[in-house]
Amino acid sequence: MNDVIKLLQSHRSIRKFSDKLIDQETINEIIAAGQAAATSSNVQATTVIQVSNPQTRQKLAEAAGGQKYVESAGAFFVFCADLKRSAQACELQGGAFSQGMTEHFIIATVDVALFAQNCTVAAESLGMGICYIGGLRNNPVDVSEMLNLPENVYPVFGLCIGYPDQDPEVKPRLPLESVLMQETYDADQLEPGIAAYDEHIRAYYRSRTGGKKDSCWSEEMRALVGKESRPHMRGFLQSKGFTMQ
Which residues inside 73-102 make contact with its own copies, applying CB under 8 A? 80, 83-90, 92-98, 101-102
Q: Vertex 139, ends 18 and 163: CA angle to 5°?
A: 10
Non-local (6+) Cβ contacts of 182 within 8 A are: none
Cα separations (Å) of 4 from 12, 115, 116, 121, 124?
Answer: 15, 18, 17, 9, 10
Least gap, CB of 170 to its own copies (angstroms): 7
CA dihedral (184, 188, 189, 193) positive or negative: positive
User: Of 153, 172, 4, which Cα lies nearest the Cα of 81?
Assistant: 153
- Single out the segment in contact with its own copies by CB under 8 A; choices: 8-16, 58-66, 67-75, 204-212: 8-16
Residue of 19, 54, 148, 212 interacting with its own copies (CB under 8 A): 148
For the chain, the farthest-separated pair of C-alpha atoms sits apart, in whole angstroms, at 65
Of 65, 66, 134, 192, the residue at the interface with its own copies (CB under 8 A) is: 134
Nearer to its own copies, 68 or 218 (CB): 218
Min. distance of Cβ 131 from its own copies in angstroms?
8
CB nearer to its own copies: pick between 72 and 104 = 104
For the CB of residue 13, give the shortest distance to its own copies in the complex, in Å: 6
Kindly tell me which of 210 and 226 has the beta carbon lying closer to its own copies: 226
Beta carbon of residue 61, minimum distance to its own copies (angstroms, whole number) = 16
Residue 212 beta carbon to its own copies: minimum distance, rounded to whole angstroms: 18
Q: List the x/- string, 186-225, binding to its own copies by CB under 8 A.
A: -x--xx-xx---x------------------xxxxxx-xx
Check residue 148 and give left, alpha or beta (phi > 0: left; psi -120 to 50: alpha): left
Cα–Cα separations (whole angstroms), residue 82 to 102, 150, 153, 216: 14, 9, 4, 37
Site for its own copies in 49-68 (CB under 8 A): 49-53, 56
In a 13 Å sphere around the CA of 190, the CA atoms on its Cβ side amount to 5
Say whether residue 149 binds its own copies (CB under 8 A): yes
Rounded to whole angstroms, the Cα distance separating 53 from 150 reads 20
Given the complex with its own copies, which of 10 and 210 has the nearer CB atom?
A: 10
Q: Which of 64, 147, 160, 161 binds its own copies (CB under 8 A)?
A: 147
